Amino acid sequence: MRLEADVHVCHAKGCGTPIPSRLLMCRPHWALVPPPLKRRVLEAFTPGQERGQVRPSQEWTQAAMAAIKAVALTERHQAEQTAVPVSDEMPVEVWWP
């Protein structure tokens, strides 16, 4: 698949969804970003950075990295919560503190 110039893939770990380059993540992943972080990412966005005309600010880079990390943590947590033992030979008990 050929990617257009203004399209890149979602920044969430392991996601390859093509999205417009002005967006950081695809819709399902962006939905996992805590609202205060979303605001930080959006407020620090510099118009033109999606085309490589302007370097993203340090503020944006930090906010974007924090958002990517938050999504990765949320996804890992969800995977742990929905993990169901495949066989009952070895019962697995999970305690949530």
**Would you tell me which residues interact with Zn ion (CB under 5 A)?**
10, 12, 15, 17, 26, 29
Cα Dmax for the chain:
58
Specify the residue, 20 or 91, whose C-beta has the smaller distance to Zn ion.
20
How many residues in total does the chain contain? 97
Taking the complex as a whole, the smallest distance from the CB of residue 18 to Zn ion amounts, in Å, to 10
- Contact by Cβ (8 Å): 47, 54: yes
Taking the complex as a whole, the smallest distance from the CB of residue 19 to Zn ion amounts, in Å, to 8
Burial 11-39 (b: 16+ CB within 10 A, else e): bbeeeeeebebebbbbeebbebbeeebbe
Specify the residue, 33 or 63, whose C-beta has the smaller distance to Zn ion.
33
Specify the residue, 28 or 92, whose C-beta has the smaller distance to Zn ion.
28
Taking the complex as a whole, the smallest distance from the CB of residue 16 to Zn ion amounts, in Å, to 8
Beta strand 7-9 pairing with 18-20: antiparallel
Specify the residue, 16 or 97, whose C-beta has the smaller distance to Zn ion.
16
Taking the complex as a whole, the smallest distance from the CB of residue 59 to Zn ion amounts, in Å, to 23
